[in-house]
Amino acid sequence: MAAITAERTELAEVFAGLTPRQWDAPSLCAGWRVREVLAHTTMPFRMGGGAFGWELLRSGGRFNRMADRVARRDATRMPAEALLAALRDNVAHPWSPPGGGLGGALSHEVIHGLDSTVALGLDRRVPTDRLMLVLGSMQPRNVRYFGTDLTGIQLRATDVDWSHGAGEPLRGLAQDLLLVVCGRLLPPGHLSGGPAARFTAR
């Protein structure tokens, strides 16, 4: 919980310094701007169980469809200041994803924070202790969830002692490799090795 609170607190400071143009810049989440990402990560703080169930029902029981629709709606309705306040006021909120526990909550904050900071080209490194908590909890089902094909590829971090899989090396910062696992396409220059082009935005 201390790691989650610290990550949210630091991200709130990052978002507080963004310009209007940066709020509307594309994130690494396909189809979402930075403001949609923050609308998504603060949704659990702003939506009670009844409202969540209703929105899920409206989306045919499909969570990803519901999350996308609600993020777009809330990002349109709420100004940047309100989204930022929703994060700042809830840095110690006890929410965790169903079945994911606090590890899942930390992963949620770290990954979506990177969706914004990496896309914006901000030089923010997730503290190593938090990042290793996320990487250490990664299971094969996490990779399957994102549908990322890592067959024949070994992810090899250049900044910490961490690797995943076997095969042709794909090198990068550990936080960038976490984004690869999550199916994100990274800006040029973040990855190296033979498979790099497959995971780099064009």
Q: Report the percentage of the chain scoring pLDDT > 70.
A: 100
**Per-residue tokens: 120:** 């914006």
Task: Using alpha carbons, select from 39, 196, 23 the residue that is nearest to residue 119.
Answer: 23
Chain-centre distance for alpha carbon 64: 14
Alpha carbon distance 10, 1 (integer Å): 14
| DSSP class per residue in 70-85 | HHHHHHHHS-HHHHHH
Q: What's the rounded mean pLDDT across residues 93-117?
A: 94
* pLDDT at site 190: 98
C-beta separation of 158 from 171 below 8 A: yes
pLDDT-derived band at 74 (thresholds 50, 70, 90) equals very high
Q: What's the rounded mean pLDDT across residues 91-113?
A: 94
Model confidence at 170: pLDDT above 80: yes
Alpha carbon distance 177, 199 (integer Å): 10
Model confidence at 143: pLDDT above 80: no
pTM: 0.95
Model confidence at 51: pLDDT above 90: no
